[in-house]
Amino acid sequence: MADGLSPGQQALKRTFDASVAFVGLALTFWLIALTWLLATLDTRSNGFFTQKRVGKDGRLFTVVKLKTMRPTRAPGTTITQSHDPRITPLGRFFRKTKLDELPQLWNVLRGDMSFVGPRPDVPGYADRLEGEERLLLSVRPGITGPATLAYRDEEAILAAQPDPERYNDEVIYPDKVRINLEYIRNWRFRDDLRYIWRTVVGG
| 154 in a structural domain | yes
Average model confidence (pLDDT) for the chain?
A: 91
Per-residue pLDDT for 93 more than 90?
yes
| 194 in a structural domain | yes
Per-residue pLDDT for 82 more than 80?
no
- Which of 150, 152, 31 lies closest to 82, judged by CA? 152
> What is the phi/psi pair of residue 121, to 5°?
-95, 155
Domain limits at 143? 7-201
| 77 in a structural domain | yes
User: Rounded CA gap, 1 and 21, in Å?
Assistant: 28
- Note the pLDDT of residue 25: 97
Q: Express each pLDDT in 164-202 by its tens digit.
A: 999 999 999 999 999 999 999 999 999 999 999 999 887
Residue 116 is inside which H or E element, if any? strand 114-116
User: What's this model's pTM, rounded to 2 decimal places?
Assistant: 0.88
| 2 in a structural domain | no
| 1 in a structural domain | no
The number of folded domains in the chain is: 1
Q: Express each pLDDT in 30-48 by its tens digit.
A: 999 999 999 999 999 999 9
| 125 in a structural domain | yes
